[in-house]
Amino acid sequence: MEQFYCHITVLLKNKMSACISFFVVVLFIFIRSAIFFETPGKEMDKIHGMTKNQPPLLHVPSQPSTSSEDLSNHPTMPNQGTKRKRDHESSDSEPPLTTDMEIMLKAKQIMKRVTDNLVHTIIMHRDIISKINKMNTVNRKKAIIGIFGKSGEGKSFLLSAILGKKNLLPSGCFGACTAVITQVEANLTDSNYTAEIELFSKEEWEKELKDLLIVLSDENEDRNEDFIEIAEEKITALYGDDADKKTLEELKKDEKFAEIENLLSINKETGNSKKISKSDVSEFASDVARYILNSEACSGGWYWPLVKSVTIKIPDCRELMEHIVLVDIPGTGDCNKTRDDLWKSKLRECSSVWIVSNINRAITDRDPWGILKHCIEDLGPGGECKSINFICTKTDNMDPVDFMRAARLPEDQISEEKEQKKMCISQRNELAKTRVKEKFENSKIKKRFSTDNDFLQVFTVSSKAFFDTSLNLESIETEIPKLQDDLRSLNKSINRELTREYVNEAKGVLSLIQSVQLDTDKKTAETKHRIRMELENNLMKALNELDKYFDNIYNDLEQRLSKGVEESVQSCVASTKAFIMPIAYNTLEALCRKGGCHCPKNRDKVLNLNKTLAKHLHEYIDEDFCQIFSMSEKTGKSVQEQIDKFTIIQSDAAYRRSTIFHYIQNFIKTEETKLKTSLKRYIVDMKKDIYSSIKKSIVNEMVSCYEQAAAFKGPGCLKRMRNLLINTVDKIKQNMFNKAKMEVLKKCDNLKLHIKDVLESELKRAMDLSRSQTSKTKSMDVSKEIEELEGLLEQLSD
């Protein structure tokens, strides 16, 4: 009996120990799972970027538990570690994936499978865990397409046609209010039409209303008529007819005043913004209209003067606009500095520009060409514009008889009326394309861009005929499908780039894991140490080469800027006199009040004294600057090309045949690629900052003069303003232009230091990560997964 009790006691102790061990293992697995995935449903949505509109993920088969019988060594590599039975062994026979989304989902499934199995095989370094988690949180800035064009040129109807939704946007919402920035993008979260309206604060509007009333109370003969017109438009749009003749106290008694105050009251959840969301497109268009339209026929209750910007989000257009935003560029006719700064910042972000003009005025109308000329610095050397689409609208609107007479065509050439009109439309379209291209090629505008032959494309569209088949134009003849293809191609290229970046980084992370699991003895650790020393040596050599390159461009810019300073000092006083002498008092006062730049409502005549003063500095560096910071074509001396050439992996590496070096090399290469992508985006931002620093530096030197001149009132004030401006420029010219020069060179030097610092610190960190300590713990073999990712990369390059 005593032996029985002893036997039972031993069994219970063993079971107790087993239970405790089992509980510890389960607890460990749970903690590791919690690190990688918050909850299965929610985190899978995060990993795959799913939304309600996206298809569900393919089922990821669960992995079988690993037993000692499953362990085997790789046939070609010693000490490969744990070999797992895979449900995907027959994946070689699977058909190739056809879309970038499928490839992205497949890559994420592979990473999900790996992270699931890591829990059972190895306690990973926290930096590796961090890298895997960060792969799913990358935010990419969308491509911005800026749209220029006056109200009535068909911009709203054009966009409705491109998105295939008739009457999607209220007619005139693009350009009806020159002050409001309106942008359109895809709604990727639900199936509603939404508008996010950013409003001025209550305090901001109170200040602007007082300024508008001061403008209206000005009774001088030489008062600024542009400002008067803007003030009248805003006040009557909000408060109704004759409101522009009322005082502030009288306006406060109007019921609309309280309504506006309530609208502008800050909401804790939404801040100074209002959101409209509708499932019905007609209801949406009706609700959003009062925030972006103006009506002279029915004044009062139009809120556009209170609006900074409107973001309209459209459902079911992922294929066209998932990564694209269309922005109406309103111009600088508004006297509000907040709006002025906002549209300029948007302008510099445009990667492409659409110029929309009625086909009858495409060549002769000065407005679109004038806007483009005014914005050239913010699009070209000071921006990131890579292409221009000139869109001639309303091509269906024509009289065939008038056209045939003007073109001297025989009127009896085609007897059938519809076919005759179709023929005339086609001929006028081709004529318009030829003449627009010729005008661009012969203009000074082209010279300010580093361009190729495809920089300008001309489209001749009919949005009306796209929806109305009775107008006898085939869909393709309206050229709306061509614009859709243009958007689709851009969207797809961004998608492809994002997918390639993800798959490439996934391959790098798995290569790092594979190199860790190969690290099983002292000899391997020594090999990794020697590899590290060789990579560090290569890094120092590559950084030295980068140093030489930046020293060369620094010297080139320094020489050109010095010549620009010399010429600026000699000519600036005469240039200032020639600029300000023809300007009337109110216009000059407005220019000084706005920091040296004023744009009348006639937007092709922008007055900018700062630009005049910066002219020679810009002219002397423009050619070199466009080559150094080229956005598209290879120039042989661009920063982007130098970044592309940079690598610490050499083809004659001493250990290039080593298996462990193969995986470390894969990891380092992917880290290099990721760094280069990040640096290229930084370089584009710095390009804008460097180029605009000349004008900013001049403004900083002139700002006190502008403020003093704007304050002059009474008899003789115009003469005093002119004298002050001329004398100030003469007094500070040497110091002002030298400061502008040094600011450019300082920023170029900072760019070099930042690039070198990022490359050195991040690549050394990658080397540290790849040089793990010898581990007795067998980790999982991910060579099969690496092969799968390499296959996906091949598909992406096809």
pLDDT tens-digit readout, 555-607? 999 999 999 999 999 999 999 999 999 998 888 988 998 899 887 765 557 78
> Please, which pLDDT band fits residue 167 given cuts at 50, 70 and 90?
confident
Residue 449: burial class (beta carbons within 10 Å; 0-12, 13-18, 19+): buried
Q: Which residues contact 512 (CB under 8 A, 6 or more apart)?
A: 128, 131, 663, 664, 667, 769, 770
In angstroms, how far is CA 374 from the centroid of its own chain?
22
pLDDT at 661 over 60: yes
pLDDT (average), residues 493-503: 93
- ∠ CA 585-591-597, rounded to 5°: 150
Number of Cβ atoms within 10 Å of the Cβ of 78: 11
> Please, which pLDDT band fits residue 336 given cuts at 50, 70 and 90?
low
For residue 219, give both structure tokens. 């009774």
Backbone angles phi, psi at 451, to 5 degrees: -120, 160
Beta-strand pair 143-148/324-328: parallel
3-state secondary structure of 357: strand
d(CA 688, CA 619): 16
Residue 754: burial class (beta carbons within 10 Å; 0-12, 13-18, 19+): middle
Beta-strand pair 456-460/607-608: unpaired
> Please, which pLDDT band fits residue 2 given cuts at 50, 70 and 90?
very low
Higher pLDDT, 652 or 768: 768
CA distances from 421 to 158, 413, 431, 472 (A): 22, 11, 15, 9
The pLDDT score that the predictor gives to residue 194 is 95
Higher pLDDT, 176 or 144: 144
CA distances from 427 to 409, 478, 614, 671, 791 (A): 11, 14, 44, 54, 49
For residues 351-365, one letter each, b for 16 or more C-beta atoms within 10 angstroms of the residue's C-beta and e for the rest, the string is: bbbbbbbbbbebeeb
| Chain segment 192-208, per-residue pLDDT in tens | 999 999 998 888 898 88
pLDDT (average), residues 684-690: 94
pLDDT at 87 over 90: no
Rounded to the nearest 10 degrees, the angle between the axes of helix 522-580 and helix 717-770 is 170
> Please, which pLDDT band fits residue 221 given cuts at 50, 70 and 90?
low
| Chain segment 94-153, per-residue pLDDT in tens | 666 768 889 999 999 998 888 877 655 545 556 677 777 788 776 778 999 999 887 778
Q: What 8-state DSSP symbol labels residue 381?
A: T
Q: Which of 244-258, 466-480, 696-710 has the highest mean pLDDT?
A: 696-710
pLDDT (average), residues 738-746: 97
Q: What 8-state DSSP symbol labels residue 300?
A: S
The pLDDT score that the predictor gives to residue 423 is 87
Higher pLDDT, 660 or 698: 698
> Please, which pLDDT band fits residue 244 given cuts at 50, 70 and 90?
confident
pLDDT at 413 over 70: no
Q: Which residues contact 89 (CB under 8 A, 6 or more apart)?
A: none
Q: Are the C-beta atoms of 638 and 629 separated by less than 8 Å?
A: yes
The pLDDT score that the predictor gives to residue 570 is 97
| Polymer length of the chain | 798
Q: Are the C-beta atoms of 667 and 508 separated by less than 8 Å?
A: yes
pLDDT (average), residues 54-76: 33
> Please, which pLDDT band fits residue 770 given cuts at 50, 70 and 90?
confident
For residue 73, give both structure tokens. 């060594």
For residues 769-795, one letter each, b for 16 or more C-beta atoms within 10 angstroms of the residue's C-beta and e for the rest, the string is: bbbbeeeeebbbbbbebbebbebbbeb
Which residue in 270, 238, 264, 267 sits closest to 251, CA to CA? Answer: 238
Q: What 8-state DSSP symbol labels residue 780?
A: B
Instruction: Tell me which H or E stretch contains 199.
Output: strand 193-199
* Residue 307, strand partner residues: 199
pLDDT at 539 over 90: yes
d(CA 237, CA 783): 67
3-state secondary structure of 566: helix
Higher pLDDT, 726 or 55: 726
d(CA 204, CA 216): 19
- ∠ CA 344-347-349, rounded to 5°: 120
pLDDT at 71 over 50: no
The number of helix segments (H) and strand segments (E) in the chain equals: 25, 11
Q: Are the C-beta atoms of 354 and 147 separated by less than 8 Å?
A: yes
Strand order in the sheet with 350-358: 273-278, 193-199, 307-314, 181-186, 324-328, 143-148, 350-358, 387-393, 456-460
CA distances from 609 to 143, 381, 470 (A): 32, 19, 53
53: left (phi over 0), alpha (psi -120 to 50) or beta: alpha
3-state secondary structure of 250: helix
pLDDT at 6 over 90: no
Q: What is the mean pLDDT of the chain?
A: 80
d(CA 736, CA 141): 36
> Please, which pLDDT band fits residue 632 given cuts at 50, 70 and 90?
confident
For residue 255, give both structure tokens. 């019921």
d(CA 735, CA 740): 9
Q: Are the C-beta atoms of 170 and 288 separated by less than 8 Å?
A: yes
d(CA 228, CA 339): 18
Please state which of the ranges 155-159, 569-573, 741-745 shows the lowest mean pLDDT.
Answer: 155-159
Q: Are the C-beta atoms of 452 and 388 separated by less than 8 Å?
A: no
The pLDDT score that the predictor gives to residue 517 is 72
Instruction: Tell me which H or E stretch contains 328.
Output: strand 324-328
pLDDT (average), residues 724-728: 97
The pLDDT score that the predictor gives to residue 59 is 31
> Please, which pLDDT band fits residue 82 given cuts at 50, 70 and 90?
very low
pLDDT at 225 over 60: yes
Give residue 708's identity as a one-letter amino acid code.
Answer: Q
One-character DSSP codes across 77-131 = STT--B----TTGGGGGSPPP-SHHHHHHHHHHHHHHHHHHHHHH----HHHHHH
Give residue 394's identity as a one-letter amino acid code.
Answer: K
Number of alpha carbons in the 13 Å side-chain half-sphere of residue 784 = 17
Rounded to the nearest 10 degrees, the angle between the axes of helix 717-770 and helix 609-628 is 30
| Chain segment 294-326, per-residue pLDDT in tens | 776 677 888 989 998 899 999 999 999 999 999
Number of Cβ atoms within 10 Å of the Cβ of 140: 12
The pLDDT score that the predictor gives to residue 143 is 94
For residue 520, give both structure tokens. 């099983």
